[in-house]
Amino acid sequence: MDSATTSPGSTTQKLDDKEKAGAVVETTELDQARNEKFHSLSWQRLTVCLIVEAIALGSLSMPASFKTLGMVPGTVLTIAIGAIATACSLVIGETKFRFPHLMDYTQIGQALFGKFGKIYFAVSFILLLSLTTGSHVLTGVIALGNLSNEAVCGIVFSVVSMIVLYVLALPTNFHDMSILGFIDCASISAAILITMVASGVEARDSPGGLAGVNWKAFKTGDEAPTFAQAFLAVTNIVFAYAFAQCLPTMASQLRRPQDYKKSLITLGSIEIVIYTIVGAVIYAFKGEAVKSPSLLSTSSTVQKVAFGVALPVIFISGSINTTTAALYIHDSIFPKTSVHRLDAAQRTKRSYISWLGIVGGITLFAWLVAESIPSFSGILGLISALFISCFSYWAPGFMWFILLKNDEPWYSGSNLWKAIGSAASIFFGLIILVCGVYASADDLKTVFAAGTGHAWACKAS
């Protein structure tokens, strides 16, 4: 990437012109006055926070995506989408590094498209994180119901999940949240490992052994998925790589902003390896018996062990989504000069009360969503189509064209390949949006028509 410059007609000058037209300008003096604790995040801890954000429920949907698509297409798409998501995240990181006063994705949206961009990205940002928290509520219901043999009505478990997610979302900075992240990483790693090992043992002991497992390299003929089924599997893979929406907010707390590349390349590499292995291995061991989330694919006893181990990732990852959305809302309510901001030198009673209320409101909304949309794959697909398509793919493409491109034409030698890549990411994001909404709507229609899912029901399906 070209370094920022203040020469006439430069990228920085272009952004300055946009700010004069109404974008939020944050002065250096005010930035320096922020609480020092809000700039104590190392790149290693940022990686942990992003891993917690990304490698959670997404990993639990990967084997089912392989089942739908077949082993070879599943593997190829997992690697390819991971590489695209990582490349796009580096564009977001470069934008944040070039323009550090853009504190979150909504301010980047304003720099891109003016007032409309700010509103669109703000609403999308809050809804994305809230709906993702809702998917964690739903998974919490499945986990607690499994552990208790459906001892009580699932709505009770959803309320319990909501309360736990609320309490864990109360820390107000990612330095503190990253400590929980280490527990989260250990949790998801252990749950996946238990499921993989148990799946292998069960496959070995089944009639025909490992050779008898019914998995397919390709799905053809009568086994081929419909377009809606195949694309829903693709959106579930897209969901697994969802972290870009939180990147600007988390990177704002970096001690050394220039370290963003280390964090993103490490994250992308870890994700691609984990998702490919998890999806391929569990599908190879369970074949057509794979379920979503994948922890449901083993015997009842192993399911209980895996869900017990996975409880931290279910609740910690969900709470980070809530914290991120709540920080944005709180900062939007109170201007930079307000004494009621969370990063003020001395916090006030009003800052605490408003924080508790905002976190509570987001968590309540997430609970309502979880009770209303009982399909795990469906809710992940809907989130991917409506929001992740924007934050992870087409928006970074526009960032390069509008904010990062140097002063030469896009088709010049120094810009051509980046322009092609950025245009491709915009096109890919729009395909995810249109086709993903169709696929998710078709899945929800099928779930409700078949009676395999019921809103506000005692049993999670």
In this predicted model, what pLDDT tens digit does every residue of 196-225 receive, in sequence order? Answer: 999 999 999 988 888 889 999 999 988 999
Instruction: Tell whether the model's pLDDT for residue 53 goes beyond 70.
Output: no
With bands split at pLDDT 50, 70 and 90, how would you rate the model's confidence at 14?
Answer: low
Cα torsion through 423, 426, 427, 432, rounded to 10:
160
Instruction: Tell whether the model's pLDDT for residue 417 goes beyond 50.
Output: yes
With bands split at pLDDT 50, 70 and 90, how would you rate the model's confidence at 16?
Answer: low
Q: What average pLDDT does the segment 408-422 reach?
A: 89
The two structure tokens encoding residue 131: 């709906």
Q: Pick the more confident residue, 440 or 75.
A: 75
Instruction: Tell whether the model's pLDDT for residue 461 goes beyond 90.
Output: no
Instruction: Tell whether the model's pLDDT for residue 38 goes beyond 90.
Output: no
Whole-number average pLDDT of the chain: 84
Q: Pick the more confident residue, 296 or 70.
A: 70
What 3-state class would DSSP assign to 9? coil
| Distance in angstroms (rounded) separating the CA atoms of residues 244 and 272 | 15
* Contact residues for 312 (Cβ-Cβ < 8 A; gap 6+): 183, 184, 186, 187
Minimum mean pLDDT among 168-182, 285-299, 375-389, 437-451: which range? 168-182
With bands split at pLDDT 50, 70 and 90, how would you rate the model's confidence at 385?
Answer: very high
- How do the domains of the chain map onto residue ranges? 11-450
What 3-state class would DSSP assign to 276? helix
| Distance in angstroms (rounded) separating the CA atoms of residues 382 and 443 | 10
Q: What average pLDDT does the segment 336-365 reach?
A: 84
- Output the DSSP codes for 306-353: HHHHHHHHHHHHHHHHHHHHHHHHHHHHS-TT-TTSTTSSS--HHHHH
CA distances from 201 to 70, 259, 305, 377 (A): 22, 42, 15, 27
Q: What average pLDDT does the segment 220-249 reach?
A: 89
Q: What average pLDDT does the segment 51-58 reach?
A: 69
Angle between helices 260-286 and 174-205 (to 10 degrees): 20
Write down the pLDDT at residue 33: 46
Residue 127: closest CA among 366, 448, 370? 366
Instruction: Tell whether the model's pLDDT for residue 94 goes beyond 80.
Output: yes
* Contact residues for 182 (Cβ-Cβ < 8 A; gap 6+): 48
Minimum mean pLDDT among 40-54, 256-270, 350-364: which range? 40-54
Highest mean pLDDT among 49-53, 63-67, 453-457: 63-67
Contact between residue 213 and residue 287 where contact means Cβ atoms under 8 Å apart? yes
What percent of the chain has pLDDT above 90?
Answer: 42
Contact between residue 312 and residue 139 where contact means Cβ atoms under 8 Å apart? no
User: ∠385-53-453 over CA atoms, to 5°?
Assistant: 50
Instruction: Tell whether the model's pLDDT for residue 160 goes beyond 80.
Output: yes
- Spell out where 262-303 has E strands: none
Write down the pLDDT at residue 421: 95
| Distance in angstroms (rounded) separating the CA atoms of residues 431 and 426 | 9
Pick the CATH number of 11-450 from 3.40.50.300, 1.10.1040.10, 1.10.4160.10, 3.10.20.90: 1.10.4160.10
Minimum mean pLDDT among 52-56, 70-74, 232-236, 345-349: which range? 52-56
In angstroms, how far is CA 312 from the centroid of its own chain? Answer: 17
| Distance in angstroms (rounded) separating the CA atoms of residues 372 and 454 | 8
Q: What average pLDDT does the segment 387-413 reach?
A: 91
